[in-house]
Structure 1
Amino acid sequence: MERYRAVLTSLRANHFLDPGGSNLDQFEASIAAALRTARSHQGAGPLFGDADAPPPDPAATPWTVPDRLADDLVRHMDGLPDLLAGTVKSNHPRMVKNVIPTPTLAYLSSYVAAAVYMGNGVSAEDAGAALQAEIDLARLYAGLAGYDGAEAGGLFTFGGTATNLYAFRMGLLNVDPDALLRGVSRDVVVVGSRPAHYSHQTAVSWLGLGRDNYLMARSHRDQTTDLEDLDRICRAQIAAGRRIACIVGVGGTTSCMGIDDFAQLSGLIDRLVEDFGLPYRPHLHADSVIGWAYLHFSAYDFAGNPLGFREEVLGRLWRISSKIRTLRWADSFGIDFHKTGYAPYVSSMLVAKRRAKLAALGRESDMMTPLFHDAVAYNPGKYSLETSRSSANMVATLMSVSALGLEGFQVLLGHAQDISMRIKRDVGRRGSGLLVVNPDSSGSDVFIRAYPPEMDGDATFRTEMSCAAARKAITDYNDAFFQFLGRHYASGETGLAVSKTSAAFYTEAGDPVVALRLYILNPFLDAEAATDLVDTLAEAKTRFDAGRAVETRGSVTPPAPETATA
């Protein structure tokens, strides 16, 4: 009994926040200790720890829980760095892989505070006013997209995949209402395009439609959908007796920021309904989990340019903003705050033009007897896939959005575009066998294809677009260069964290083009740092080529770079 009481006393004093907040100082000290310990071990490079972290291994010796309670949480945080080794450092100016923003302090601070109270965001009975954050954000972005805020609705969910899952589900129940209770009873398809994210196929699979029933139209070089091919596919499916649950347009592709004209897509659907006398209208969804952020420019004075963006940056922002404003024609669109919203994982939202369509996803009342006793309360759990949702995420996202404001988002996105353009220009000036293959992309991503020093990059690139054999040889070269970067340029002050995409874009024949990828979002990456980054990439390319020359003469180890930590 004595040990039990001693442990309980320690738990109350050291491991949980007292209801009256008497140990708040200790809670703050443990948070500060975690941050200080992490920072003191993070290293100078773009990956945490500046060391090769062993990959997670399911076959490793099992971790065992300690027998005793930790008696000092500050000292306990000393074990944190080992768990972070190899993690990307999102705020490092040379960490430019994938669409990974650095989260705002407003989000991080608000999340910790709100998470203490453990509100479950499925019901206002538990989450209270925290759920107002979901309502307010849904109305905000519905309004910026041109929806009627009184009719629209939105729902936080577990990532971009889930925003597509919800949209496809709304479309499915539109063409097959019995699917809610009896399962899919009709031959149903979803139609998207080739550059669409693979999560579309994941969603149709998890819905039970089958991946073969996700059909892909061809795309243009800028990643927008070939509407003629889309129309052809849709007409063939309808003629074959299948129903189209959803047509998915791109609202800012991961590569090149391709954005469809949703007014044209909506018109295409109207013609299908009229020509075939369809008793339903296919749901039109915008997979806009990256492009949504440019809605913050909806009311920007491009003529006056009050923020003083450079002319070429201003022009690009205007073009993206003009395209993303056509979301008003879509029936729903997705938002990833953890991509271009500067929030941490996971913070995503589906916004629907008709809130009633979300409610139609609902469960039967006899399934939910433990919950939702207040019939008039806001209870999104009645129709959400999730039965557990963090209201802290909703609160923190709203606090972050309100802290940044329209101007903050505009500057962040404008800065990303500015730096992206500078990097493209610097790569072109270097003439070191590095070629930007998306010079006219609307996004802040930079795709670079590397060429051996004995080749003319521009001429070879043109040949590759119509010659699969030539493209494969250069792709193999780029794969090897990417591996070289990972081995020799991943750590230290001159380290780089870049990624490689399997499809920067598609050739006319529909074949993917592989390239190195730099995605610019970091507010700490300035013009000088961008130039240094390009210089390092060019230096790495020179050393890689020197290593290939040595390897050809019989050596197998390329020379390690002098200015980077090998």
Structure 2
Amino acid sequence: MKDLFYNDPEQIKRIVEEFSSAILPLKKPDQPFFSKYRVFNYKEELENAEPFGYEAQDPEEFIKNFAGYFENAVNWDSTGVLYNVHPNVNVYGQVASFIAGFANPNFAQDISSGKLMLIEKQLINYFASLAGWDSGQVGGIFTFGGKGTNLYGLKVALDKTFPNLREQGLQGKIKVISSDLGHPCHVEVCNWAGIGINNCIRLKTENTTLPVELFKETFEEIVKNGEKLPLIILNGLTTLNHAVDDIKGIAEARDEIVEKYKLDYIPHIHTDSVLGWVYLLLARYDFDANPLSIRPDILSTMKKKYLLMANITYADSFGADFHKTGFCSYSSSLFMTKDKKSLQNIEYSYREDDTLEFSKYSPYNYSLELSRSPHGPVSAYATLKTMGVEGFAQVLASLTESFRYLKDVFHAQEHTQVLNYNEDSNLLFFVFKPRKDISFTENMEPGLVEEIKAFNTGFYQFLIHKLEKGEAYIFFSCSRSHKYLGQSFGSIKVYSWNANFNVEEAKKVTYHINELFEEYIQGFEATKDYNIFDFLDVKGVNK
């Protein structure tokens, strides 16, 4: 029993080595999974699982059995994994979090966490400066994910709009504005808060962003209907388009309507920037001197995204997912608000000022969670420190250049059609053409659309079949719902946020995709539906 709890550093080194020796060799650089891919049945696996026993299991036997659960685990360090915004992990961030766990802190209050909680405060101040906010006035808190940051945004918005919300609950007719390119959780938080999904207005975007005039018309209509608009959720880099809304323009339009109708509240603008926050780091990059010698066209794209994201200064709050574009493991998310009072007033019982001393920092007085892991702040802190702005700028440049290369190559091929060629996004949507002479236009014949979709979803089934046999070295997703020219073609989605992905790796990916395609057209008939498609298909979202 004694060896199950901490004794000394050598004990920890030995146990870590035992786990590492059993599991990490499964992470092969050229393999997208820790094992051959296998579609298993949960009921069968549960029936055959080793039962929990009365007596303690031998640690060596436990580690051996535990290693078996890494079957089908994705090897995010493989540059052949091109599945969604999911990074490989900064090892210093991961190990720092692991070591912090030996202090077993609860980030609900500093008295049980020691100085480790200062890390969260440092990160809040850092992101306040990046956003151009007054660090003395801002508030922030790490939470359970991007959905959590949006839920916090909704909560502080409701509290500002309804001062007696805590005692009396929601009153009157309430609307929330988002857009059709907003994340599904924008609707979901309205469900969780009891507002109702039908009261989340998903305005139609134009050229991937929310039109200011459409927003104004909608807001005015809400006012005239006697309804209230506590929250406006804007996009700070959408998942599928990497689009950023006109934050400044929407903020000015909001203020104009508030003044016009003499409203007794100001709608809260939350920017869902869980992906786009990373471009705020470029506030510290010298675009004129360009010390990293980034290619001019790539530098121009990066600067454009930074300038769009810099308008976050006009928002009232925003979110950042470090487990998405920040090379941390799940989950590490930060909610930031321009006015700390809106956060600390949630339970009416907490205040902070410059006299704050150790033993008095207690986020549990206002946080959704009363138990908070140190993982989010610690992993983000370690990653930002060990990579620096320079490291992030290098990765952003490499990803931008790599996806520009992929778009150019697939655009030039006769047998492929790129669906997002003109977007400045670090992802590729394309389809294979069943015949090279097919031209893509609006209002294509429905039968042809279905033929193209079947051809591409069939290719994806073929990819999974090859992964099962251990004969494929790439893994990406296929979207049944992604739309191009108003129609769904079963788009192949190639997406990477791997710090090691570069043009050379992109060339290998191109070669292997085309190699698989040549084999696919020789004849393949799926014998089962693998049902592994895009996350947003699962959410029932049409993009």
TM-score by structure 2 length?
Answer: 0.90
Report the counterpart of residue 331 of structure 1 in structure 2.
316
Segment drifting more, 83-92 vs 413-422: 413-422
- Aligned residues: CA RMSD: 2.4
Secondary structure in 1 matching 2:40: coil
Q: Distance in 1 between matches of 2:93 and 2:12?
A: 18
Q: Is the 8 A contact 1:452 1:545 kept in 2?
A: no
Q: Distance in 2 between matches of 1:524 and 1:375?
A: 41
Counterpart among 381, 385, 388 of residue 371 in structure 2? 388
Counterpart among 6, 29, 32 of residue 17 in structure 1? 6
Q: Distance in 2 between matches of 1:183 and 1:502?
A: 40
Q: Distance in 1 between matches of 2:332 and 2:161?
A: 30
Q: Is the 8 A contact 2:237 2:275 kept in 1?
A: yes
Return the offset for 1:37: 1.4
Report the counterpart of residue 295 of structure 2 in structure 1.
310
Report the counterpart of residue 133 of structure 2 in structure 1.
147
Q: Distance in 1 between matches of 2:234 and 2:305?
A: 15
Q: Distance in 2 between matches of 1:295 and 1:214?
A: 28
Rate the CA distance shift 1:194–1:85 in 2: closer, same or farther, 3 A. Answer: same
Counterpart among 63, 67, 80 of residue 66 in structure 2? 80
Rate the CA distance shift 1:77–1:89 in 2: closer, same or farther, 3 A. Answer: same
Rate the CA distance shift 1:236–1:467 in 2: closer, same or farther, 3 A. Answer: farther
Report the counterpart of residue 541 of structure 2 in structure 1.
none
Rate the CA distance shift 1:286–1:472 in 2: closer, same or farther, 3 A. Answer: farther
Report the counterpart of residue 479 of structure 1 in structure 2.
457
Q: Distance in 2 between matches of 1:58 and 1:201?
A: 35
Q: Distance in 1 between matches of 2:128 and 2:445?
A: 45
Give the aligned residue type for 2:382.
M
Identity %: 24
Secondary structure in 2 matching 1:498: strand
Q: Distance in 1 between matches of 2:236 and 2:271?
A: 5
Q: Distance in 1 between matches of 2:435 and 2:218?
A: 44
Secondary structure in 2 matching 1:447: strand
Segment drifting more, 498-507 vs 286-295: 498-507
Give the aligned residue type for 2:12.
F
Q: Is 2:235 the counterpart of 1:250?
A: yes
Counterpart among 400, 403, 408 of residue 417 in structure 1? 400
Return the offset for 1:206: 0.5
Q: Is 2:435 the counterpart of 1:453?
A: yes
Q: Distance in 1 between matches of 2:133 and 2:483?
A: 32
Q: How does 1:206-225 map to 2 (within 5 A)?
A: 206-221=192-207, 223-225=208-210
Secondary structure in 2 matching 1:116: helix
Q: Is 2:497 the counterpart of 1:532?
A: no
Segments of 5+ residues of structure 1 without an aligned counterpart are: 1-10, 366-373, 559-566
Q: Distance in 2 between matches of 1:29 and 1:364?
A: 46
Return the offset for 1:454: 4.6
Return the offset for 1:181: 2.1
Counterpart among 24, 35, 56 of residue 69 in structure 1? 56
Secondary structure in 1 matching 2:269: strand
Rate the CA distance shift 1:233–1:493 in 2: closer, same or farther, 3 A. Answer: same
Residue deviations 1:254-298, cap 9 Å, x none?
Answer: 012100121101011012202222111000010000000011111
Give the aligned residue type for 2:511.
D
Segments of 5+ residues of structure 2 without an aligned counterpart are: 351-356, 529-543
Report the counterpart of residue 495 of structure 2 in structure 1.
519
Counterpart among 402, 405, 422 of residue 388 in structure 2? 405
Residue deviations 1:471-510, cap 9 Å, x none?
Answer: 4443333222222222224664742110123554575x6x
Give the aligned residue type for 1:449.
V
Segment drifting more, 520-529 vs 189-198: 520-529
Q: Is 2:215 the counterpart of 1:230?
A: yes
Rate the CA distance shift 1:136–1:79 in 2: closer, same or farther, 3 A. Answer: same
Q: Is the 8 A contact 1:413 1:521 kept in 2?
A: no
Report the counterpart of residue 143 of structure 2 in structure 1.
157
Q: Distance in 1 between matches of 2:384 and 2:468?
A: 33
Q: Is the 8 A contact 1:255 1:505 kept in 2?
A: no
Q: Is the 8 A contact 2:285 2:389 kept in 1?
A: no
Give the aligned residue type for 1:381.
Y
Report the counterpart of residue 46 of structure 2 in structure 1.
60
Return the offset for 1:470: 4.8
Report the counterpart of residue 95 of structure 2 in structure 1.
109
Q: Is the 8 A contact 1:193 1:218 kept in 2?
A: yes
Secondary structure in 1 matching 2:367: coil
Q: Is the 8 A contact 1:434 1:538 kept in 2?
A: no
Report the counterpart of residue 172 of structure 1 in structure 2.
158
Rate the CA distance shift 1:352–1:392 in 2: closer, same or farther, 3 A. Answer: same
Segment drifting more, 344-353 vs 25-34: 25-34
Residue deviations 1:410-462, cap 9 Å, x none?
Answer: 1111111121112222222333x222211222221111122212542xx22x2
Give the aligned residue type for 1:93.
T
Q: Distance in 1 between matches of 2:400 and 2:494?
A: 12
Residue deviations 1:510-541, cap 9 Å, x none?
Answer: x6675221112212333222112112212222
Give the aligned residue type for 2:185.
S
Q: Distance in 1 between matches of 2:377 and 2:510?
A: 38
Q: Distance in 2 between matches of 1:265 and 1:53?
A: 47
Q: Distance in 1 between matches of 2:481 and 2:299?
A: 28
Secondary structure in 2 matching 1:547: coil
Q: Distance in 2 between matches of 1:264 and 1:526?
A: 36
Counterpart among 202, 222, 241 of residue 188 in structure 2? 202
Q: Distance in 2 between matches of 1:473 and 1:248?
A: 37
Q: Is 2:347 the counterpart of 1:362?
A: yes
Residue deviations 1:125-147, cap 9 Å, x none?
Answer: 11121111111111111110111
Aligned length: 520
Rate the CA distance shift 1:514–1:232 in 2: closer, same or farther, 3 A. Answer: farther
Q: Is the 8 A contact 2:432 2:455 kept in 1?
A: yes
Residue deviations 1:164-220, cap 9 Å, x none?
Answer: 000011111122222222221221111000011101111110011111111111112
Q: Is the 8 A contact 1:194 1:216 kept in 2?
A: yes
Q: Is the 8 A contact 2:190 2:200 kept in 1?
A: yes
Segment drifting more, 38-47 vs 419-428: 38-47
Rate the CA distance shift 1:537–1:393 in 2: closer, same or farther, 3 A. Answer: same
Q: Distance in 1 between matches of 2:34 and 2:156?
A: 41
Q: Is the 8 A contact 1:34 1:74 kept in 2?
A: no
Return the offset for 1:542: 2.8
Counterpart among 417, 436, 439 of residue 421 in structure 2? 439
TM-score by structure 1 length?
Answer: 0.87
Q: Is the 8 A contact 1:53 1:85 kept in 2?
A: no
Q: Distance in 1 between matches of 2:468 and 2:433?
A: 21
Q: Is the 8 A contact 1:498 1:517 kept in 2?
A: yes
Q: Is the 8 A contact 2:453 2:488 kept in 1?
A: no
Q: Distance in 1 between matches of 2:287 and 2:261?
A: 43
Secondary structure in 2 matching 1:256: coil
Rate the CA distance shift 1:227–1:498 in 2: closer, same or farther, 3 A. Answer: same
Q: Is 2:289 the counterpart of 1:300?
A: no
Rate the CA distance shift 1:79–1:329 in 2: closer, same or farther, 3 A. Answer: same
Report the counterpart of residue 519 of structure 2 in structure 1.
543
Report the counterpart of residue 130 of structure 1 in structure 2.
116
Return the offset for 1:546: 2.9
Rate the CA distance shift 1:282–1:57 in 2: closer, same or farther, 3 A. Answer: farther
Residue deviations 1:98-127, cap 9 Å, x none?
Answer: 111011011111011100111100111111
Q: Distance in 2 between matches of 1:312 and 1:243?
A: 44
Rate the CA distance shift 1:393–1:116 in 2: closer, same or farther, 3 A. Answer: farther
Q: Distance in 1 between matches of 2:176 and 2:484?
A: 21
Q: Is the 8 A contact 2:463 2:472 kept in 1?
A: no
Rate the CA distance shift 1:490–1:352 in 2: closer, same or farther, 3 A. Answer: farther
Q: Is the 8 A contact 1:42 1:50 kept in 2?
A: no
Q: Is the 8 A contact 1:502 1:513 kept in 2?
A: yes
